[in-house]
Structure 1
Amino acid sequence: MPAGRATGAHWALRWLDTDRLRQVSTGSGVRVAVLDSGVDASHPQLARAVDRGWDVVADEADGRTDCVGHGTAVASLVAARPDGDAALVGVAPAARIVPIRVSEDGSGATAYRDVTPARLAAGIRRAIALDADVIQVSFAVNSNNAALRKAVADAAKRQIVVVAAVGDRTAGPTYPAAYPGVVGVGAAESSGHRWTDSGSGPHVDLVAPGVELVGAARIRGHVPVGGTAAAAAMVSGAAALLKARHPKWTAAQIADRLLATADGTPGGARNDGYGYGGVNPYRALTESAEAPGRSPAPHPVPAAALNPTQRPGLSAATRKALLWAGAIGAGTLVLVVGYAAATAFARRRRARA
């Protein structure tokens, strides 16, 4: 059964003020690699947005196969093209998606069990080789893995912004979010409060909309999507907007600007649940660019988040038919093992900011 079409205003688009964002930057020319389950490029809102990419699972040059739909939904949050009254539009609707398929799983209690640090490391290396400007990592692992750490470091050397989900229902540091230079992202609800299942810790830098979002389904239509992977997609889109507007900025400058212009936390100071607060791409784009590395200052929770719009226009029948997408909402995987250097790293990163 084809997925239904969601229409009307959506709270996440109001929070990020996407209409106004498009007047400043659309992410044109920026390549965003999405490490996920692949991307179905046949969806009308993605048809002109997706490159060939790479399939790490099959070790072949085509990441446009998506057996579970998660990567398609996540990629659409980054770069879906506007389509009339559709409730979906990407944060950076002129960016290019480079699909890097690192998983073919995604159902039931064993969802995404095939994602390993080695696969994530291989995916990042492929993203580097395919000239990505931003790398979106939808998965989180507990293992502090040498190969994954090196891949992230290599991306940083190439001035590639790495954005990673911190994980859903996780405990302790997760990787690659906890590595130096990576922007670790948690999920927020429409109230502006942190989603209760969003991972927390010193590796959280920002939060972004991550509950009851609208994503692209495989082939056509829309599905519910959420979790920290979805929130990270929002931040990846914001990074693409900044990269397009300031092409000579380093990856560190872009990351620092996102942190410096965050909307702050309910308590006013950086904390392990919210990081520096909610991402604010419009503020990041429009404030003076003379000192992109300055320290973040707390700001109130955005008013749009405190007055959310109604849920997107999916009928009750359509929502019932889309219950399978609950697996999509999980968004991240936590693999067991490892702890080590995260605390020391986090202190160094926060001191730098």
Structure 2
Amino acid sequence: MRGKVGCGRVVRRPAAAWAAVLVLLAGVAPSLAARPALAAPGCFGGKPAPAPRATGDQWAQRWLDPRRLHRLGTARTVRVAVLDSGVDSSHRQLAKAVDRGWDLVADEAGGTIDCVGHGTAVASLIAARPDGDASLVGVAPEARIIPIRVSENATGSTRYRDVTPGRLAAGIRRAIALKADVIHVSFAVGSGSAGLRSAVADAVRRQIVVVAAVGDDTVGETYPAAYPGVLGVGAVDQSGQRWTDSGSGPHMDLMAPGVNLVAAARVDGHVAIGGTAAAAALVSGAAALVRGNHPKWTAAQVAEHLLATADGTPGGAYSVDYGYGSVNPYRALAEPIGTPVPSPSPKPMPAAAVRPSPEPGMPATTRRALLWAGGVGLATALVAVGYAAAVALLRHRRRVSG
């Protein structure tokens, strides 16, 4: 059965708003979909002109601070499989990053045909190489990208109707065969399958870190994010709040920036991209860095360390809207290694981001009245709530650990 599909949403802008977007993103092209949807050999249509080059500051780069981050670690030996629409390796920031992958659409080796540009953009968030004053640099710029083309969407639509649980399962198995260390899945289908569950379980057994978007405009659990051992990722905006279209639920583990991100366009230049697939790409890059620094760690140890070093969010230590918080690659590399315990305390957001004010405390008179009138009842309730929270936390940690 074909499930509802959610993928990283391309930010659409009408031509009249281009100037505003260029100011906002310091020269970034307005959208992937606004440009001709067809580009690479094997796609209908001609080769597109290069997009504008982004050289200004951008909020997600300030948030993650990759240039400072990269002084702490490398992902030189790490291979990240990207299950998306393919990756155009002709982009100057990806040319030295992309290995030979697999094209499930054509059923042949390759994966470097990208008819819509989404996979190219996602791959660049993971591993784009620095390029002078370009705004874009990947979270793990020394990682290798293995493109796994699972979609041939050539209409510019962000709904990838040709993606099914079966195709995702085949993509994961191909990534395993190509010796991926991290598997990034841009898609979220509304119904799983025995084949997809088995493919994920096989990847986890082989100590591959699996990261999946929870989906855009989705309701309820999505797959493969909901399977044991998978890091399900949602998106936050510039204020640190959950992006309004980000999926949520018990399959949520981490958040990451997912609105107006600068990414690579096909051929050259940059575009704006958003959605949970883009957010998941940042987590995949962080996983690649941790794996590169700790090559002997199991996949569960990598995942648990990312959870333990996540920044707290308005949702607290864990919530179905925010998971364990927003990924912090710098903390993941810099903080001492120990038994991972999710951080309950938030780290200050970037200067441009604002957190909601804390809830006011209960008045002292009310507290005394409650203690006097219902001490025993209150204690019983607290025990019950604490037990329920512990069970929920244990369930999610077991799911991530596989």
CA contact (8 A) 1:214 1:225 kept: yes
Partner of 2:230: 182
Amino acid at match of 2:123: A
Deviations 1:292-316 (A, max 9, x none): x334333235234517xxxxxxxxx
Query: Post-superposition shift, 1:133?
Result: 0.3
TM-score for both structures, normalised by structure 1: 0.86
Amino acid at match of 2:114: D
Distance 2:295 2:237 in 1: 32
Distance 1:352 1:97 in 2: 27
CA contact (8 A) 2:317 2:342 kept: no
CA contact (8 A) 1:144 1:175 kept: yes
Amino acid at match of 1:113: R
Partner of 2:69: 21
Partner of 1:99: 147
**Cα gap change, 1:176 to 1:260, in 2 (>3 Å):** same
Q: CA RMSD in A?
A: 1.8
Greater C-alpha radius of gyration: 2
Displaced runs of 4+ in structure 1, greater than 4 A? 344-347
SS in 2 for 1:152: helix
Unmatched 5+ residue regions in structure 1?
A: 308-343
Say if 2:360 is the partner of 1:302. no
CA contact (8 A) 2:62 2:350 kept: no
Query: Post-superposition shift, 1:204?
Result: 0.7
Amino acid at match of 1:68: V
Match of 2:211 among 156, 163, 172: 163
Deviations 1:218-265 (A, max 9, x none): 111111111000000000000000001000000000000011111011
Say if 2:152 is the partner of 1:88. no
SS in 1 for 2:148: strand
Query: Post-superposition shift, 1:82?
Result: 0.3
SS in 1 for 2:146: strand
Match of 1:269 among 305, 317, 336: 317
Query: Post-superposition shift, 1:267?
Result: 3.8
Match of 1:235 among 265, 269, 283: 283
Amino acid at match of 1:306: A
Partner of 2:169: 121
Amino acid at match of 1:192: G
Query: Post-superposition shift, 1:2?
Result: 2.5
Deviations 1:175-209 (A, max 9, x none): 00000010000011111111000001011101101
Query: Post-superposition shift, 1:111?
Result: 2.7
CA contact (8 A) 1:164 1:182 kept: yes
Amino acid at match of 2:282: M
Amino acid at match of 1:46: L
Task: Count matched residues.
Answer: 316
Partner of 2:93: 45
Query: Post-superposition shift, 1:110?
Result: 7.2
Amino acid at match of 2:182: V
Say if 2:261 is the partner of 1:213. yes
TM-score for both structures, normalised by structure 2: 0.76
Partner of 2:249: 201
Deviations 1:26-76 (A, max 9, x none): 311100000000000000000000001001111101111101100000000
Say if 2:297 is the partner of 1:249. yes
Deviations 1:107-163 (A, max 9, x none): 355731000101100000000000000000000001121100000000001100000
Distance 1:29 1:119 in 2: 27
Q: What is the identity percentage for the equivalent residue pairs of Structure 1 and Structure 2?
A: 70
